[in-house]
């Protein structure tokens, strides 16, 4: 035990780095456990969509217009939890999408607490979807009359 204390006193930067790494690992684990049970990966999301699930994109309108999942509906998290989201409660599954998966995970938890048991967050968001080279459509811009 004395050697451990001596080592720590002689190597404060090394011990500090170890402590910071442990804090980071614990923080990451807590974050992942908070999302556990509400997130699905891109391939599982495809399966849910193919089985009749709906996709709700929670990103802002410009991000949605730049590229979104086919047949996705663009709503804010507030609209989804309000009356606008009522029509999705009848679907088999509801896949929520945001940029990185954080906002959609929170929204999925909120919907599940309200009784929507098939609300899922796309783990990693649109970034993960695009990384898997899954289809994305962009909003059509109106053609100018010549």
Residues annotated catalytic, as ranges: 98
The string of DSSP codes covering 1-42 is -HHHHHHHHH-HHHHHHHHHHHHHHHHHHHHHHHHTTTEE-H
Phi-psi region of 95 (alpha: psi -120 to 50; beta: other; left: phi over 0): beta
3-state SS, residue 62 = helix
Cα–Cα dist 27/115, whole Å: 29
Please tell me what DSSP assigns to residue 144: P
Alpha carbons 56 and 50: distance in angstroms, whole number: 15
Helix H or strand E segment including 128: helix 125-131
């Amino acid at each position: 035990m004395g050697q451990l204390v001596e080592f720590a006193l002689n190597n404060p930067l090394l011990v500090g780095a170890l402590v910071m790494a442990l804090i980071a690992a614990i923080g990451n684990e807590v974050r992942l456990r908070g999302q556990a049970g509400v997130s699905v990966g891109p391939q599982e999301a495809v399966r849910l969509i193919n089985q009749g699930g709906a996709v709700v994109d929670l990103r802002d309108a410009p991000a949605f217009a730049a590229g979104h999942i086919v047949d996705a509906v663009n709503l804010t998290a507030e609209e989804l939890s309000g009356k606008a989201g009522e029509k999705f409660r009848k679907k088999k599954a509801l896949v929520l999408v945001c940029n990185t998966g954080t906002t959609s995970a929170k929204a999925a938890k909120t919907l599940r607490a309200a009784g929507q048991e098939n609300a899922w967050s796309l783990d990693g968001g649109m970034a993960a979807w695009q990384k898997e080279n899954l289809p994305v459509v962009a909003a059509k811009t109106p053609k100018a009359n010549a």
